[in-house]
């Protein structure tokens, strides 16, 4: 009986030794695997060097690649048993980062296994310069045409200086977050565009079934020289891209705690990438103005206008000014609209005009008003002569001339001059004496004796007979002490409020973190409960182990998948109730295990209680 037991024990030990030694006896193999063969500049690809069999005395030699960096991310060891056959593998993890776009080749990795040397195969991959999409045709909308583009309505032939209404539309895909860096700019030689409104019309449109956010500007173009010009519009913007798990980051773990897309949207770091929206190139043809029928009074006005002239006052004396108001209303290039020229006449003296402009509802519509002072030099003038405005109408293709009606006027002899002349005749003085008296300075009356009529006559301010209040100090208030005291008090209040705001934000962040932890606990407990209901012992233990790793990683700021039993003891202590659960689940990951329904229910209750305590 004893001999049989000894033999059975010996056979069992030999079998275990064979199982232990068999992985090292297997023929070693090494393989390099790159998870993606094309990625954008600024992204990362995962490189895995898998060594199967022969894990004793290994040395891996890394190659050097120009403009490519290999970031080591540790190694993982896996042992599996299938139908009594044990196999093992060792995986070296790397993240591949390119410093410039282009095509690259990863040279072979060299593995030194004792006296034996193994190499991996070469791997080719491509790095593109565009972070979101494949390179596209640059014409007709630029490299981001699918994300943003500009459309413009331009057609026909136009004249130099003609105001051509244009509708600009900037399209942005709704599923992208975009910030504008500039307004649309015109790329053209010989064509000008006025400054655009910083508050465009916003709406939504569908283009080929794809929803877009659209910004609309109503503007205009004007050609400044004849010829065929190429017109294009450009807009600079910033694309906001949130880091997501499907975009490779510096974490080598696929199943992290924050793989949820909602958490990625709110908490992932936002990357800012400049983009440029372009329109297609348009032909803007400018033909010269016709020479036939051009009036002499034409001064460059192009459009469709009306003219109104008003003069006031209409009863004046010689030498008194008359304000002439010329109002031009319509559609066209008001920059080239000038005031009608007052006819040259010895009976009139004119002064320079002043102009003001009020824009209309359309970009080319408006009203331009000119004011000019004119003075009649002699009595007997009966009217203000008509004024002429000539312009070219591009719709009709011909020149038109507007002529105002004469304005009735009464100009009398100056009473002051008549009085001076009469005094000179009565005194028998000469014309020189009369002129001297005419321009002699006015003698001021004594203070207090100037009547109101004299004040109004000479347009003088009333004289003050009493002194006002006196001030000892004439320093401005910002140089006085009380002003500095107020500024200091305001700064103290601002600092105090900033401190309170900082404390409140810190408290809110702590509350958010606690709420996030609680949600994670609830999610993993639900997964464990699903495995329990399914009577799947292996899945139950695996999810329990993952839940402990994820939650401990959140508490200790470590990578969850790298937390082992010794790390858990270091974090929680030897006496924690989670230690036996993790050890049982850890052992089941390699050797398998069986649990009863009561054990799974008890483990679940212990896990829930301990995680809620933490």
Decide: 186 and 235 in contact? Cβ < 8 Å.
no
**Domain extent listing, the chain:** 22-128, 148-286, 299-412, 502-613
Q: What is the mean pLDDT of residues 391-412?
A: 92
Provide the terminal-to-terminal Cα distance of the chain, rounded to the nearest Å.
54
The tokens describing 602, both together, are: 């008890």
- Tell me 561's DSSP state: G
Q: How far is Cα 397 from Cα 298, in angstroms, rounded to an integer?
A: 15
Q: What is the DSSP string of 179-209?
A: EE-S--EEE-SSEE-PPPPSS-EEEEEEETT
Q: What is the mean pLDDT of residues 191-211?
A: 89
Tell me the pLDDT band of 492, cut-offs 50, 70 and 90: very high
pLDDT at 183: 92
Q: How far is Cα 240 from Cα 179, in angstroms, rounded to an integer?
A: 8
The continuous run of DSSP H or E covering 295 comes out as none
Per the listing, tokens 């937390």 go with 563
Tell me the pLDDT band of 489, cut-offs 50, 70 and 90: very high
The tokens describing 508, both together, are: 């809110």
Query: What would the CATH number be for the domain defined by 22-128?
Result: 2.60.40.740
Query: Which of these ranges, 80-94, 312-326, 597-611, has the smallest mean pLDDT?
Result: 80-94
Residue 97 phi/psi, 5° resolution?
Answer: -125, 130
* Cβ neighbours, 10 Å, residue 368: 21
pLDDT per residue as tens digits for the range 222-274: 998 889 999 999 999 998 876 544 444 444 344 443 344 444 444 556 678 89
Decide: 33 and 48 in contact? Cβ < 8 Å.
yes
The tokens describing 276, both together, are: 């440029």
pLDDT at 464: 65
| Cα radius of gyration (the chain) | 45
Averaged confidence pLDDT in the chain: 78
Query: Which of these ranges, 16-20, 281-285, 341-345, 585-589, has the smallest mean pLDDT?
Result: 16-20
Q: Does the pLDDT at position 317 exceed 80? A: yes
Decide: 546 and 561 in contact? Cβ < 8 Å.
no
Give the HSE-up count for residue 493: Cα atoms under 13 Å, Cβ half-sphere. 6
Decide: 368 and 416 in contact? Cβ < 8 Å.
no
pLDDT per residue as tens digits for the range 15-33: 555 544 444 445 778 899 9
Closest CA to 225 of 160, 165, 274: 160
Best CATH choice for the domain 299-412 from the list 1.20.1070.10, 3.40.50.300, 2.60.40.10, 1.10.1200.10: 2.60.40.10
pLDDT at 424: 55
pLDDT at 591: 63
Query: Which of these ranges, 156-160, 236-240, 351-355, 459-463, has the smallest mean pLDDT?
Result: 459-463
Whole-structure pTM value: 0.43
190: left (phi over 0), alpha (psi -120 to 50) or beta: left
Q: Which long-range contacts (CB under 8 A, 24 or more apart) does 398-404 make?
A: 398/290, 398/293, 399/293, 399/294, 399/295, 399/298, 401/295, 401/297, 402/305, 402/306, 402/307, 404/307, 404/308, 404/309, 404/326, 404/340
Q: What is the mean pLDDT of residues 527-546?
A: 80
Question: 225 pairs with which residues across the strands?
Answer: none
Fold assignment, 148-286: Immunoglobulin-like (2.60.40)
Tell me the pLDDT band of 202, cut-offs 50, 70 and 90: very high
Bridge-based pairing of strands 410-412 and 315-317 is parallel
Q: How far is Cα 152 from Cα 216, in angstroms, rounded to an integer?
A: 10
Bridge-based pairing of strands 123-128 and 38-40 is parallel
b/e 162-192 (16+ beta carbons within 10 angstroms → b)? bbbebebbbbbbeebebebeebbebebebbe
Topology match between the domains 22-128 and 148-286: yes
Q: How far is Cα 128 from Cα 289, in angstroms, rounded to an integer?
A: 51
pLDDT at 261: 44
Q: How far is Cα 104 from Cα 127, in angstroms, rounded to an integer?
A: 8
Q: How far is Cα 366 from Cα 368, in angstroms, rounded to an integer?
A: 7
The continuous run of DSSP H or E covering 42 comes out as none
Number of residues in the chain: 614
Bridge-based pairing of strands 58-61 and 110-113 is antiparallel
- From residue 283, give the alpha-carbon distance in Å to each of 90, 156, 229, 305, 452: 64, 9, 6, 28, 71
Closest CA to 109 of 64, 43, 164: 64
């Amino acid at each position: 009986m004893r001999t049989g037991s000894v033999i059975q024990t010996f056979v069992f030990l030999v079998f275990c030794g064979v199982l232990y030694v068999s992985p090292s006896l297997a023929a070693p193999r090494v393989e390099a695997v790159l998870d993606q063969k094309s990625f954008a500049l600024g992204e990362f690809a995962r490189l895995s060097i898998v060594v199967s069999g022969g894990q004793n005395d290994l040395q891996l030699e890394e190659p050097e690649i120009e403009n490519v960096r290999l970031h080591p991310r540790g190694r993982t060891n896996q042992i599996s048993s299938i139908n009594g056959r044990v196999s093992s593998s060792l995986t070296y993890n790397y993240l591949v980062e390119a410093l410039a776009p282009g095509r690259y080749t990863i040279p072979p990795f060299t593995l030194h296994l004792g006296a034996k040397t193994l190499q991996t195969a070469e791997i080719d991959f491509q790095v593109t310069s565009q972070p979101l999409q494949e390179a596209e045709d640059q014409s007709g909308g630029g490299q981001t045409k699918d994300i943003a583009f500009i459309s413009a309505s331009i057609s026909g032939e136009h004249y130099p200086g003609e105001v051509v209404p244009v509708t600009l539309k900037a399209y942005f895909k709704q599923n992208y977050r975009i910030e504008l860096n500039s307004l649309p700019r015109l790329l053209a030689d010989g064509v000008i565009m006025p400054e655009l409104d910083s508050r465009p019309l916003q709406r939504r449109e569908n283009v080929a079934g794809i929803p877009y956010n659209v910004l609309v500007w109503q503007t205009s173009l004007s050609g400044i020289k004849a010829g065929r010009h190429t017109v294009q519009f450009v807009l600079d913007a910033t694309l906001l891209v949130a880091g997501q798990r499907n975009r490779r980051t510096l974490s080598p773990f696929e199943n992290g705690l924050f793989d949820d897309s909602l958490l990625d949207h709110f908490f992932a770091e936002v990357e800012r990438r400049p983009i440029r929206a372009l329109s297609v190139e348009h032909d803007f043809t400018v033909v010269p103005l016709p020479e036939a029928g051009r009036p002499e009074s034409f001064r460059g006005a192009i459009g469709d206008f009306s003219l109104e002239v008003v003069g006031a006052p209409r009863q004046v004396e010689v030498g008194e000014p008359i304000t002439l108001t010329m109002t031009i209303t319509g559609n066209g290039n008001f920059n080239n609209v000038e005031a009608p020229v007052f006819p040259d006449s010895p009976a009139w003296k004119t002064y320079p005009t002043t102009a003001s402009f009020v824009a209309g509802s359309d970009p080319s519509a408006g009203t331009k008003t000119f004011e000019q002072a004119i003075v009649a030099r002699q009595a007997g003038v009966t009217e203000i002569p008509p004024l002429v405005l000539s312009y070219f109408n591009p719709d009709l293709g011909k020149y038109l001339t507007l002529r105002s009606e004469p304005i009735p006027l009464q100009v009398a002899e100056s009473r002051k001059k008549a009085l001076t002349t009469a005094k000179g005749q009565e005194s028998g003085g000469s014309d020189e004496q009369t002129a001297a008296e005419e321009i002699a300075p006015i003698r001021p009356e004594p203070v207090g004796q100037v009547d109101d009529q004299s004040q109004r006559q000479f347009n003088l301010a009333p004289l003050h007979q009493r002194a006002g209040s006196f001030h000892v100090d004439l320093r401005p208030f910002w140089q006085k002490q009380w002003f500095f005291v107020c500024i200091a008090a305001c700064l103290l209040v601002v600092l105090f409020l900033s401190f309170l705001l900082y404390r409140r934000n810190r408290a809110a962040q702590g509350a958010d973190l606690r709420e996030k932890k609680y949600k994670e606990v609830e999610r993993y407990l639900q997964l464990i409960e699903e495995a329990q209901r399914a009577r799947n012992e292996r899945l139950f233990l695996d999810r329990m182990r993952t839940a402990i790793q994820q939650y401990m990683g959140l508490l200790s700021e470590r990578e969850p998948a790298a937390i082992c039993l010794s790390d858990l003891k270091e974090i929680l202590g030897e006496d924690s109730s989670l230690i036996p659960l993790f050890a049982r689940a850890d052992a089941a990951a390699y050797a398998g295990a069986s649990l009863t329904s009561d054990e799974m229910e008890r483990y679940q209750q212990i896990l829930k209680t301990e995680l809620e305590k933490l």
